[in-house]
Amino acid sequence: MKKRTSITTQLMLRIIPLVVILMIIVVGSTMLLTNVSVREMAKSELKKDAYGNEKVLTRFISDALSNLEPVKDTLETVDFVDDKARLSYMETTVGLNESIPNGVYMGDDQGHYLDASLWEPGADYVVTERDWYQEGMKHDDFTLGVPYQDADTGQLIVSISSKANIKGWGEYRFSRRYVSGSDLGVYL
C-alpha cells in the first residue's frame, strides 16, 4: 500500500531545493560582483598612489639635482689651492639636502677619491670599479644610476652621477648618492 503524503510535504520537497539553488546562485553572483568591484577599486587606488609617488619622486629628484648642479659648477670653475681646500668646500654639501645626508664625493681613474662626509675607503677600494663612477662616465649631466648596495652602509642606494672637469684636478668623475627606501619613502 502506498503511503500518502500531504500536499504541504510535496510542495516543501519541491520548493526547498529550488530555494537552495536560487540562494547558491545569488550568493555566488554577489561574491563574483564584489570580487570584481574590489579589484577595480584596488587598481584605481594603486594608480592614484603611483601617480602621487611619481610626483613626490619627481620633486625629490629635482630638488637633489638643483642642489648638485651648482656644486658641480663650482668645482669645475673655481681653482682651489689644493685638495684640502676642495674638500673643505665639498663638506658644505653634507646635510644640504635631507635626502643627500653625506654630501658629494668624487674620484678619478687614477684612484684619487674625495668624500665630503670624510669617509675614507680601505686599500681595496677601486674607484673605477664603483657603480657610481661607471655610471657617471656615461653622462655629461647628472643622471640616476641603477640601485645597488652601498659598500660602507650596506643600504640600498641610487647614485646621481656625472662626468666633470674639476678645475685643477683634471678629468674626474663627480657623483652624489642618496639613500633610497626609508629616506626617500619609495624604492627606485
Q: How far is CA 58 from CA 63, 64, 77, 80, 147, in A?
A: 9, 10, 28, 33, 17
Name the burial class of residue 151, with classes exposed (0-12), middle (13-18) and buried (19+) by CB atoms within 10 angstroms of its CB: middle
Give me the pLDDT at residue 29, please. 92
Name the burial class of residue 178, with classes exposed (0-12), middle (13-18) and buried (19+) by CB atoms within 10 angstroms of its CB: buried
| Greater model confidence, 91 or 158 | 91
* DSSP code at position 141: S
Check whether 144 has a pLDDT greater than 90: no
38-81 pLDDT, tens digit each:
999 888 888 777 776 677 777 778 888 888 889 888 988 898 88
- Asked if residue 156 lies in contact with residue 134, where contact means CB atoms within 8 angstroms, the answer is no
Average pLDDT in the 32-42 region? 90
**Beta-bridge partner residues of 175:** 105, 161
Give me the pLDDT at residue 175, please. 60
Give me the pLDDT at residue 136, please. 85
Give me the pLDDT at residue 181, please. 33
Average pLDDT in the 7-24 region? 88
Give me the pLDDT at residue 89, please. 93
Mean pLDDT of the chain, nearest integer = 80
Q: In which element (H, E) is residue 55 found?
A: helix 7-77
Check whether 172 has a pLDDT greater than 70: no
- The whole-angstrom separation of Cα 89 and Cα 116 is 8
- The whole-angstrom separation of Cα 184 and Cα 178 is 9
> Domains of the chain (ranges plus CATH)?
1-188 (3.30.450.20)
- The whole-angstrom separation of Cα 147 and Cα 145 is 6
Check whether 22 has a pLDDT greater than 90: yes
* Closest to 176 in 3D by CA, of 155, 156, 162: 162
Give me the pLDDT at residue 180, please. 36
| Greater model confidence, 173 or 10 | 10
| Greater model confidence, 166 or 5 | 166
Give me the pLDDT at residue 178, please. 43
Check whether 2 has a pLDDT greater than 60: no
- The whole-angstrom separation of Cα 46 and Cα 36 is 15
Give me the pLDDT at residue 185, please. 30
Give me the pLDDT at residue 183, please. 31
Check whether 23 has a pLDDT greater than 50: yes
